[in-house]
Amino acid sequence: MDEIGLFPLPLVLMPGEQQPLHVFEPRYRELISECLARGEDFGLVLADDEGMRDVGTKAFVVEVLEQFPDGRMNVVIEGRERFRLRNVAEERAFATAEIDEVEDEVDEPTDEERAAALEAYDRVVKAADAELDELDLESESLAFQIAARIDLGAEVKQTLLESQSERDRVVRLAGLLDKAAEAVAREREIRSRASGNGRVEAL
């Protein structure tokens, strides 16, 4: 059982996902500085009005973008393995916890289910006219890659993070992405109509 420093935030970091992070609170400046000095991970966990969740992601600082004289810093972090909180301690400036690794069950999606998720993903990307990094189709989790690229909200990402079935994640994403593609297409059409004649016509 490992022990790790915790950084609660109102966001979810998927394994393999990179995120910029502005570190300004003294306790978290201490945590990140310690991780940088030791080359260690810290634990990023979703914290919101419902409190701190039990499942989070180990995070590693891959780049320090800027350090300020007062100790604040801008960094880029990358998600690694998932973990489940065991015993949380408040003995230091930042919380620490004993953690267990979260592992998937052997439950892979079928080729058809993967294809459905990929097609829905492509529809969202095209509807949004976005340029995203290519997916690595040989990676362990297609679902985590897609969730790292499409903003589905913290609650949805947390549900995916907690799932121990890649098949469940892929099937769930296919449905979510279908709805997202329709919503993005509708929004673009409304914007186009509004910019064309100054009003939005009822559909």
- pLDDT tens track for 112-137: 999 999 999 999 998 888 888 889 88
List CB contacts of 80: < 8 A, sequence separation 6 or more: 15, 41, 57, 58, 59, 60
The DSSP secondary-structure symbol of 70 reads T
Rounded to an integer, what distance in angstroms lies between the CA atom of residue 44 and that of residue 111? 32
Handedness of CA 149, 153, 158, 160 (dihedral sign): negative
CA–CA separation, 105 vs 58, rounded Å? Answer: 20
DSSP-based helix, strand, coil % in the chain, nearest 5: 40, 30, 30
**Amino acid (one-letter) located at 8:** P
Structure tokens at 55: 């499942």
Q: What is the average per-residue pLDDT within 67-72?
A: 93
The pLDDT-based confidence of 200 (bands split at 50, 70, 90) is very low
Which domains are delineated in the chain? 2-101 (2.30.130.40), 111-197 (no CATH)
Rounded to two decimals, the pTM is: 0.87
Over 50: is that where the pLDDT of 202 sits? no
- 4-40: pLDDT as tens digits: 999 999 999 999 999 999 999 999 999 999 999 999 9
140-to-15, 44, 98, 137, 158 alpha-carbon distances in Å? 10, 21, 26, 9, 18
How does residue 196 score in pLDDT terms, banded at 50, 70 and 90?
low
Distance from C-alpha of 129 to C-alpha of 181, rounded to nearest angstrom: 11
Instruction: Kindly report, residue by residue over 88-98, the tens digit of the pLDDT.
Output: 999 999 999 99
